[in-house]
Amino acid sequence: MQEVHAYRTWVPALGDRAPRLLATANDPPAIVITAVPGVPLNQRTLDSDAEQDAYRQAGRLLKALHAAGPPQLKPDWTAWLAQRAEYWIHQAGDRITSDFSAEVGVHMRALQDLAPLPTLPCHLDFMPRNMIYGDDGLVRLIDFEHSRYDLPTRDLVRLATRIWPLRPDLRDSFLDEYGQLTEVDHEVLEHCSYVDTLTRGRRFRR
């Protein structure tokens, strides 16, 4: 289980800001982890200062997770992502337009042109619903079932496309701790946003 691998190898780098693995079972597959106090960040009503502080904490957490394993150079990783995009296009069928399919293809080719890119331990569902905000004001990260080595910028796609356009203050707070993005990071964000759109299962009109 990649989730168990994540809890054993990378999550300990987050200290008390993430659950600890207590036990595992194979039949049926299951894990036992420690409880995390609080509620998802997207369910808390906070003032602007508290929200910005929460996103600064989130930036520190993701930076620590990405640093929990050595970079791995996978020359074929962008090609694999492009193949997955083709698979999702096929699965979507007539729910997406031919124009959108062609646009995805352009971005996947551009993504492959950036290869090779380093991969790092990633969360791959890094959203406020998986950031637990406690009564102590601390943010803790949960739900590592999708974690694996991947392009680290992919962890930012959902924030960058769903939250930051309306809340640039939260983007700035996050990046203050995570670190500023490079030109290549911005390119990966743009190209991978199309992958995210496909996996969200959006319906497109002809």
* Structure confidence by residue, pLDDT tens digits, 110-138: 999 999 999 999 999 999 999 999 999 99
Predicted confidence band at 26 (pLDDT cuts at 50, 70, 90)? confident
Predicted confidence band at 29 (pLDDT cuts at 50, 70, 90)? confident
Residue spans per domain, the chain: 39-199
pLDDT at 205 over 60: no
* Structure confidence by residue, pLDDT tens digits, 148-200: 999 999 999 999 999 999 999 999 999 999 999 999 999 999 999 999 998 87
Average pLDDT, the chain: 94
pLDDT at 33 over 90: yes
What is the average pLDDT across 91-113?
93
Of 2-16, 49-63, 148-162, 192-206, where does mean pLDDT reach its minimum?
A: 192-206
Predicted local distance difference test score (pLDDT) of residue 206: 33
Predicted local distance difference test score (pLDDT) of residue 201: 57
How far is residue 163's CA from residue 170's CA, in Å, rounded to a whole number? 8
How far is residue 19's CA from residue 194's CA, in Å, rounded to a whole number? 31
Tokens of 25: 């079972």
Tokens of 194: 């199309």
Inter-residue contact 92 to 41 (CB < 8 Å): no
Say which CATH architecture domain 39-199 belongs to.
Alpha-Beta Complex (3.90)
pTM of the model: 0.93
Predicted confidence band at 75 (pLDDT cuts at 50, 70, 90)? confident
Give the CA distances from residue 134 to residues 13, 19, 36, 73, in Å, rounded to whole numbers and listed in that order: 19, 13, 8, 37
pLDDT at 92 over 60: yes
